[in-house]
DNA sequence: CTGAATCCCCACGGATACTG
DNA sequence: CAGTATCCGTGGGGATTCAG
């Protein structure tokens, strides 16, 4: 049924396509937050920090579509919606965390490199 | 010397900021390509596949600024420019590869999840 | 509380053409 | 070969408002 994604050429193309959707700031931050357990919308929003509600809801919808996140609605008043990782999402957690912690650990180094580069180019 | 990025609050903010620059399609694909060894501009372009020369050169410049990539010019005619990873870049290779191979390995699963999701919503 | 809808701006990113 | 410059459209993403 599906086109065969398993020859090397098209798998590379698909890798590039998938990375386009997966490898973005909000996706990684959300997966990272949900990696510590289920969270509700506004808590997620607060914990991520500087994400707008639009981006949070649209990114969550994409992640739900991709089978990475589960949306669990408790129809109370007011309604409660809890987001959590699927098995696929939990599987994604490790690589995401690896990249995130690399970024954190090397923040200073990168910052210094930037300053050096800008000094050369500016001054 | 440097401001202390090590308290939790600001390290999270910096993580988000850095991920915004690092976690994008082109950065990951380039680091991945260069992970196999130095490459010249057009070879890099061909191997990545669908990247425009504008995006390739601008992303390479950002990576050079961040101290992740080194640009090595051999002033011949025609000129040869070789790009390679710095120590920092090589250090980044593992997490990048982890995320990329996760994406490739789960391409089919994600695709199936999408189709299911779209069927529910469409039909 | 959890969003969807709307408006709007601008940066990402493609196409093309031109330099050294 | 290895870019830079320019034009230009699309969509990312913020602010605000409305709904369930």
Tell me the shortest Cα–Cα distance from A80 to chain B, in angstroms.
22
- A8 contacts on B by Cβ (under 8 Å): none
Q: Indicate the average pLDDT of chain A.
A: 86
Whether residue B2 is contained in a domain is answered as: no
Residue range of the domain that includes B28: 8-121
DSSP structure string for B34-103 = HTTS-EEHHHHHHHH-S--HHHHHHHHHHHHHTTSEEEEEE--SS-EEEEEE-HHHHHHHHHHHHHHHHH
Whether residue A79 is contained in a domain is answered as: yes
Q: Which residue is nearest to nucleotide D15 (CA to C1')?
A: A52
Cross-chain CB nearest to A66 (options B19, B64, B110) = B110
Beta-bridge partners for A40: A82
Q: How far is the CA of B34 from the C1' of D9 (A)?
A: 31
Whether residue A87 is contained in a domain is answered as: yes
Q: How far is the CA of A54 from the C1' of C8 (A)?
A: 14
Each residue's pLDDT tens digit, A40-61: 999 999 999 889 999 999 999 9
Whether residue B36 is contained in a domain is answered as: yes
Residue B103 contacts A, CB cutoff 8 Å: yes
CATH of the domain at B111: 1.10.10.10
Give the strands of the sheet with B69-74, arranged side by side.
B39-40, B80-85, B69-74
Whether residue A1 is contained in a domain is answered as: no
Whether residue B1 is contained in a domain is answered as: no
Residue partners of B95: CB distance under 8 A and separation at least 6: A95, A98, A99, A102
Q: Answer whether the bond into residue A110 is a cis peptide, omega within 30°.
A: no
CA distance B50 to B81: 20
Residue A10: pLDDT band (50, 70, 90) is: low
Identify the pLDDT of residue B4: 39
CA distance A110 to A99: 14
Query: Are B83 and B38 spatial neighbours (Cβ–Cβ below 8 Å)?
Result: yes
CA distance B51 to A72: 38
Whether residue A3 is contained in a domain is answered as: no
- B5 contacts on A by Cβ (under 8 Å): 107-108
CA dihedral of A90, A92, A93, A96, whole degrees rounded to 10: -170
Query: Are A123 and B27 spatial neighbours (Cβ–Cβ below 8 Å)?
Result: no
Q: Name the pTM for this structure.
A: 0.88
Interface test with A, best of B16, B59, B63, B87 (most A CBs within 10 A): B16
Each residue's pLDDT tens digit, A65-87: 999 999 999 988 888 999 999 99
Residue B48 contacts A, CB cutoff 8 Å: yes
Please state the domain count of chain A. 1
Tokens of A20: 């386009």
Among B90, B86, B75, B100, CA closest to B24: B100
Whether residue A25 is contained in a domain is answered as: yes
Q: Indicate the average pLDDT of chain B.
A: 86
Identify the pLDDT of residue A2: 39
């Amino acid at each position: 049924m599906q086109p065969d994604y398993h020859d090397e050429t098209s798998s590379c193309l698909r890798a590039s396509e998938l990375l386009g959707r997966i490898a973005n700031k909000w996706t990684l931050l959300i997966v990272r937050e949900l990696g510590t357990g289920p969270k509700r919308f506004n808590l997620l929003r607060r914990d991520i920090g500087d994400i707008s509600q639009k981006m949070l809801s649209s990114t969550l919808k994409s992640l739900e579509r991709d089978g990475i996140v589960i949306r669990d609605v408790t129809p109370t008043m007011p309604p409660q919606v809890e987001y959590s990782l699927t098995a696929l999402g939990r599987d994604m957690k490790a690589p995401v965390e690896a990249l995130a912690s690399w970024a954190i650990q090397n923040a200073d180094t990168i910052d210094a490199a930037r300053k050096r580069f800008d000094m050369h180019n500016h001054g």
